[in-house]
Amino acid sequence: MMDYRITTKENFTEKVGELVCMLEHSREVTLSEISTLNPRELDYLADGSSNSIGSLLSHIASIEYVHQIISFENRDLTNDEYIKWGTALELGDKAREGIRNHSIDYYLESLSQVRGNTLTHLKSVNDIWLFEESKWGNGVSYNNYYLWFHVMEDEINHRGQIRTIKRLLKKR
């Protein structure tokens, strides 16, 4: 049963634990939306410029992975990492062509693996880490808290797109 309270998760500091609670709730809702989809549904394109549910799920995993690299390793993607994650990060034509013909288990495994790494890393930091600041190349400041808020807001945004695609599928 889903819990509708923001609490501090065990084995995390207070604010990190609250962030984990929100990340995990967002993921639980996403998983409830997609867990029974078949490859045809995962690959459905509403038109020539839309994203499939599968590509959106890959994008959700890629955004989280990139934010792990930025926040925990203080670096950008390597060329090899970009080769693996770039298509899902950017979406568009490459994703429409390259992210398809996978089962739901493929996407669930990717989301789970990335999330497991996130939780492992978040257990090793404290609330002060959330507020540590850095600057983007253009001089704009950000903190780790914002990065992980963005991971959550990105997933929620794409879950809305997934729900729209599912409604379109029902009309077909």
Q: What is the pLDDT of residues 54-99, one digit of tens each?
A: 999 999 999 999 999 999 999 999 999 999 999 999 999 999 999 9
Q: What is the mean pLDDT of residues 100-108?
A: 97
Confidence label for 172 from pLDDT (cuts 50, 70 and 90): confident
Nearest-angstrom CA–CA distance, 122 and 82: 23
74: CATH: 1.20.120.450
CA angle 10, 29, 21 (to 5 degrees): 20
Residue 109, in any domain of the structure: yes
* Chain center to CA of 168: 23
| Token pair listed for 12 | 């995390």
Q: Is the pLDDT of residue 39 over 90?
A: yes
Nearest residue to 25 via CA among 167, 126, 155, 157: 155
Provide the domain count of the chain.
Answer: 1
33 burial level (CB within 10 Å; 0-12, 13-18, 19+):
middle
Place of tokens 């979406």: 91
Please give the backbone phi and psi of residue 156, each rounded to the nearest 5 degrees, phi first: -65, -40
pTM for the structure as a whole: 0.96
150 within a domain of the structure (yes/no): yes
